[in-house]
Structure formats: structure tokens, C-alpha cells
């Protein structure tokens, strides 16, 4: 058996000799950035190592292997890793019966590998028509992997290039997405006792990483200065995700403030999507996961034709509602304050709060309520997000009819269901639990595993800092009444 290489023994990025680029050469062209978007951070550089070797020889807490949605290996590297791990790894994947959705990740044991665990992620296929979607999904692969690293507190991870030229991905595009996502992650979680990310490269990618790493992880002022000229203009958002300008619309962070309607001059027309874009870009056929999340049944007819007109109608209906949401006066709904964004969870995902007691379903215009929901969430649902619903002290007139809830679920686009990571129901009643079970079992099975009933506010602190959670006083008072005085907010 080949000798394993200990991840902890590899030199860190900051220990390697820094490049000495000619700043004067780069200054012949105008700088793309006023200042370096990724300044020198010794603590971040200390969490990165670059290693050109075989992934299956790396002794780390975990190694990451790219695959497709059916769990099949996507490259010779991953096939070799499966062979080295032994048949137990395939048996575990087969026994659990859970395929990895494109852009998602899951963790299994490492068995005969030097690594303790294996993180599997289904990578996208690249096509020029699906470029934006493919790049966004590749970012999601890296982010889901890094989230598992946090969840399981892994000390070291072997992270190969998840993009593949075999699946059509341009190597330089994939490298930019990988490095900026890793950099943004480490900016939040870099710590002397934090994870070591071993960027595992082959001969082809080694040259690309050698050029790009000093731009995303500069080790001195000279590398920082050169990065201003060499980095592309699109460096992603605060998490490294590709930025889609058409979705950058204004929202109200706190609906307690008065709603300011958008004028026609503020509008950005929503571009019509191609019908071909309805087919899954990862393998160019009907997306089974989309059907599951939308409550549809797979099969029946040509997968390229079945339901196409229905999907187009739904898409056109949603875009009409989005245009109305941007133009109509929704102050009567925003002024209620029952729906608003309240900070972010520990993984940087926006948290949406819904106060059930303030939602007077029998008194308000439910059509406008739907428009305000779309207006608030549209800029957020392109990436992961979380919803917290407070059922505290609700009464019968706070409960909308079930057919309206189903209507809302049907109207909202696929991304709303896919990127919803968790739906927490605080202070549920027996009736709430029963209705939630019925709805997620028969009408919305795609989100069943994402719904969690919790009995107290304090349980939210495991997912978000208490200072990020803004809720009405009556909720905390009720919580203390039923759970005791365990709710605590430090004084400013």
C-alpha cells in the first residue's frame, strides 16, 4: 500500500517563497480595482496548503471527491479513490440510497483510505447557454463542502479542483470560483485551531493555481498591488458567488419602516429566459430534483417535452408577479411588520422572520401579501437562506386557508425550494404539527426534511448569534413563561 502523506506536515501557503512580480509591468494597463479586494491576511494564508499529489494518498480528516447526481465517479482520480477505499464505501452509498443533488454535498466514512471521511459533491456540467447556472452551482459545491467542514469540525481537508474539463468547465473559470470561495470562507473562519484546506492539484491545474493563488492569497504588499491589476472585475459577492446584476434589486431590510415604492426609473426589466434553460444544465435532461421540490411526479412521456408548456406558464406568471411586486404600493403589508430579514445565521445565510400573530389572514389583501413575499425574498433566494416562523400566541384569524398556502408554494420558483436550507417553527401547537406533516407529506414533499419544530427561542442560538435575532417582546415573554428564564440578551 502506498505511503500516506500527512496533511499537517505539508508547508502552509505563507511558508512558501512569495513571487516577485513586476508592478511596473502591470501598471501599463489601468487597475481593475481601487484597492486589493483580498488583502494580505497571514491568518488566512496559514490555513491553506497546496499539494500536487494523489488525493487517495492524503492522510487528512476528510477528502473531497466530485461525482454526478447518481453518485458515479466523475474522473480517474475519484475512481482511484473509490478503489482504494474498498467496497464498503460503495455499499454505504448504495445502502443509504440518497443521491447527491447537483451543487450539494454529503459525508461518508473513508474506510481503507488514509482520510477518515469522504465528502461527495455532485458537480455541474458546463455549457455556454447555462454558464451562469453552472458557475453558481460550482460555487455551491465548494460552499456546501466547506459547510460540512464546519458542521463536523474537521481539522484538515483535501480539496481537489471540483471543476472538470471533461464536463466542459474552462479550467481558469473554475479556478477563480474555487479560490475566491475558499478565500471568503477563510475570512470568516480562519483560526489557529481552524481547518487546514489542502488544495490538491494535478499537473494541469498546478500552473493555473500557481498564477492565481498570489492574487487571492497575497503574502506581501507587492502581490497585493499586482492583484489590483490581475484580478477580474467580477470577484463575486461576500461569499464568492457569481453576481447576477439583474437580481440586484432594492429590498426593505426592516418592514417596520415605511415602504417606499419603486419608480419606473428604478426598474430593471427581467430578461426572458430561454425555454431550453428549463432543462437541467448538469446532465441536459429533466431535473428529477426539481420535480420533487415542486411536488410533481417524474415520468410519463418524453422528459424533454413533458410539462414544458406548464413550466413556461408558471415562469411567465411568476415574472408578472415580480414586476407587480416592484411597482405596486405594498405599504399596507410592509407596515404590519410580520415578515422581515433579521440578520444572518452562523454560515452567513440570511434569516427571514415571520411573526404569525401579526399576520391577520382574514383582514389583509392576500394577493398583496404574496407580492410582498416575492419582493422581499427575490434578491435572497438565489443563494441559501433560512426561514424562522414564530407561531407564538396565534389565533384562528392568523391562519390562512390551506389552498392559499398551496397557491403560494406553486407560484414561487424552483430556487425558493432548492435554496431553502431550513424552516424552523417556534412554539408549534399539536394542530400546527399535524397540518405541517400533512402539507409536507402530500403537497410539498421536497421540503419535508427541511422543516423543524422547536419549543423555545434558545434553540435558535445554535444556528445564529442572539444579537442577530430581532423578535418582538411578546415572543420572549411567552418563551420565559413556558420555558423558564433562559432567554438572555446581553446589554449593548
Instruction: Determine the average pLDDT of the residues in 331-346.
Output: 89
Q: What is the pLDDT of residue 387?
A: 96
Give, rounded to a whole angstrom, the gap between the first and last alpha carbons of the chain: 59
pLDDT band of residue 297 (cuts 50, 70, 90) is very low
Q: Which domains occur in the chain, in start order?
A: 5-230 (3.40.220.10), 264-483 (3.40.525.10)
> What are the residues whose beta carbons fall under 8 Å from the beta carbon of 39, sequence distance 6 or more?
218, 224
Nearest residue to 385 (alpha-carbon basis) of 351, 412, 415, 417: 351
Compute the mean pLDDT over every residue in the chain, rounded to the nearest whole number: 81
What the block records as the C-alpha cell of 320 is: 408578472
Nearest residue to 392 (alpha-carbon basis) of 362, 429, 422: 429
What the block records as the C-alpha cell of 318 is: 411568476
Most confident range, picked from 67-81, 101-115, 262-276: 101-115
Q: How far is CA 213 from CA 18, 25, 40, 138, 411, in A?
A: 11, 19, 12, 18, 43
What is the Cα–Cα distance from 227 to 218, expressed in whole angstroms? 8
**Residue 388, SS3 per DSSP:** strand
Q: What are the φ/ψ torsions at residue 220 (nearest 5 degrees)?
A: -155, 180
Most confident range, picked from 41-55, 93-107, 299-313: 41-55
* Secondary structure letter of residue 450 according to DSSP: G
Q: Which residue's C-alpha cell is 482511484?
A: 80
Q: Which residues in 140-232 belong to E strands, given as ranges?
A: 156-160, 196-201
What the block records as the C-alpha cell of 396 is: 384562528
455-466 in b/e form (b: 16+ CB < 10 A) is ebbeebeebbee
**pLDDT of 432 strictly over 50:** yes
What is the Cα–Cα distance from 243 to 251, expressed in whole angstroms? 17
**pLDDT of 253 strictly over 50:** no
- More confident position, 165 or 248: 165
165 CB-contact burial (10 Å; exposed 0-12 / middle 13-18 / buried 19+): middle
What is the Cα–Cα distance from 480 to 81, expressed in whole angstroms? 52
Q: What is the DSSP string of 276-340?
A: GGGSBTTTTB--HHHHHHTT----SS-TTTTTHHHHHHHHHHHHHHHHHHHHS--HHHHTT--EE
**pLDDT of 206 strictly over 80:** yes
Nearest residue to 101 (alpha-carbon basis) of 446, 349, 451: 446
Instruction: Determine the average pLDDT of the residues in 403-425.
Output: 90
Give the pLDDT confidence of 365-400 residue by residue, as tens digits.
898 999 999 999 999 998 999 999 999 999 888 888
Strand partners, 423: 387, 451
- Please state whether 184 falls in left (phi above 0), alpha (psi between -120 and 50) or beta: alpha
What the block records as the C-alpha cell of 399 is: 391562519
Query: Crossing angle, helix 87-96 and helix 76-85, to 10 degrees?
Result: 100
The number of beta carbons lying within 10 Å of the beta carbon of residue 33 is 15
- More confident position, 210 or 261: 210
What the block records as the C-alpha cell of 467 is: 444579537
Q: What is the pLDDT of residue 74?
A: 53
Could you tell me what percent of the chain has a pLDDT over 90?
33
Q: What are the φ/ψ torsions at residue 48 (nearest 5 degrees)?
A: -125, 135
Q: What is the pLDDT of residue 285?
A: 43
Give the distance, in angstroms, between the CA of residue 200 and the centroid of all CA atoms in the same chain: 23
**pLDDT of 224 strictly over 60:** yes
pLDDT band of residue 309 (cuts 50, 70, 90) is low
- More confident position, 269 or 487: 487
Give the pLDDT confidence of 26-84 residue by residue, as tens digits.
666 788 898 999 999 999 999 999 999 889 999 999 999 988 766 555 567 777 888 88
**pLDDT of 13 strictly over 60:** yes
Nearest residue to 242 (alpha-carbon basis) of 184, 160, 161: 184
Considering only 3-12, 28-37, 260-269, which range has the smallest mean pLDDT? Answer: 260-269
Q: What is the pLDDT of residue 252?
A: 43
What the block records as the C-alpha cell of 274 is: 430561454
∠289-291-296 over CA atoms, to 5°?
150
Give the distance, in angstroms, between the CA of residue 169 and the centroid of all CA atoms in the same chain: 20
What is the Cα–Cα distance from 42 to 14, expressed in whole angstroms? 7
Amino acid at each position: 500500500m502506498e505511503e500516506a502523506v500527512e496533511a499537517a506536515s505539508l508547508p502552509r501557503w505563507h511558508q512558501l517563497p512569495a513571487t516577485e512580480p513586476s508592478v511596473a509591468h502591470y501598471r501599463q494597463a489601468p487597475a481593475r480595482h481601487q484597492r486589493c479586494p483580498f488583502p494580505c491576511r497571514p491568518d488566512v494564508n496559514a490555513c491553506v496548503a497546496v499539494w500536487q499529489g494523489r488525493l487517495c494518498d492524503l492522510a487528512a480528516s476528510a477528502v473531497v471527491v466530485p461525482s454526478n447526481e447518481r453518485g458515479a465517479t466523475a474522473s480517474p482520480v475519484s475512481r482511484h479513490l473509490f478503489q482504494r477505499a474498498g467496497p464498503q464505501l460503495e455499499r454505504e452509498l448504495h445502502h443509504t440510497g440518497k443521491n447527491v443533488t447537483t451543487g450539494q454535498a454529503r459525508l461518508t466514512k473513508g474506510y481503507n483510505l488514509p482520510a477518515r471521511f469522504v465528502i461527495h459533491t455532485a458537480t455541474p456540467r458546463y455549457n455556454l447557454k447555462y454558464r451562469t447556472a453552472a458557475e453558481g452551482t460550482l460555487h455551491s459545491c465548494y460552499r456546501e463542502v466547506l459547510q460540512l467542514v464546519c458542521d463536523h469540525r474537521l481539522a484538515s481537508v483535501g480539496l481537489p479542483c471540483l471543476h472538470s474539463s471533461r464536463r466542459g468547465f474552462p479550467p481558469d473559470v473554475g479556478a477563480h470560483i474555487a479560490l475566491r470561495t475558499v478565500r471568503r470562507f477563510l475570512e470568516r473562519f480562519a483560526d489557529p485551531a481552524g481547518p487546514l484546506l489542502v488544495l490538491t492539484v494535478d499537473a494541469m491545474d498546478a500552473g493555473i493555481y500557481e498564477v492565481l493563488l498570489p492574487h487571492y492569497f497575497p503574502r506581501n504588499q507587492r502581490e497585493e498591488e499586482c492583484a489590483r491589476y490581475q484580478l477580474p472585475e467580477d470577484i463575486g459577492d461576500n461569499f464568492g458567488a457569481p453576481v447576477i446584476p439583474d437580481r440586484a434589486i432594492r429590498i426593505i431590510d426592516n418592514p417596520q419602516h415605511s415602504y417606499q415604492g419603486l419608480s419606473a426609473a428604478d426598474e430593471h426589466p427581467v430578461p426572458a429566459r430561454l425555454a431550453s434553460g428549463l432543462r437541467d444544465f448538469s446532465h441536459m435532461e429533466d431535473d428529477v430534483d426539481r420535480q420533487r421540490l415542486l411536488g410533481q411526479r417524474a415520468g410519463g412521456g418524453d422528459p424533454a417535452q413533458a410539462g414544458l408548456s406548464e413550466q413556461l406558464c408558471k415562469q411567465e406568471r411568476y415574472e408578472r408577479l415580480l414586476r407587480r411586486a416592484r411597482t405596486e404600493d405594498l405599504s399596507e403589508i410592509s407596515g404590519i411588520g410580520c415578515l422581515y430579514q433579521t440578520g444572518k445565521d452562523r454560515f452567513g445565510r440570511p434569516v427571514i422572520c415571520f411573526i404569525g400573530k401579526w399576520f391577520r389572514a382574514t383582514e389583509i389583501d392576500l394577493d398583496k401579501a404574496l407580492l410582498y413575499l416575492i419582493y422581499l425574498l427575490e434578491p435572497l433566494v438565489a443563494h441559501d437562506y433560512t426561514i424562522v416562523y414564530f407561531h407564538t400566541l396565534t389565533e384562528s384569524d392568523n391562519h390562512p386557508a390551506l389552498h392559499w398556502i398551496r397557491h403560494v408554494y406553486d407560484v414561487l420558483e424552483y430556487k425558493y425550494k432548492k435554496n431553502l436550507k431550513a424552516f424552523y417553527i417556534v412554539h408549534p401547537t399539536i394542530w400546527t404539527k399535524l397540518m405541517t406533516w400533512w402539507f409536507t407529506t402530500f403537497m410539498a414533499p421536497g421540503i419535508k426534511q427541511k422543516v423543524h419544530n422547536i419549543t423555545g427561542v434558545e434553540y435558535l442560538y445554535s444556528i445564529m448569534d442572539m444579537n442577530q435575532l430581532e423578535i418582538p417582546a411578546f415572543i420572549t415573554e411567552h418563551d420565559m413563561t413556558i420555558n423558564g428564564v433562559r432567554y438572555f440578551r446581553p446589554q449593548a
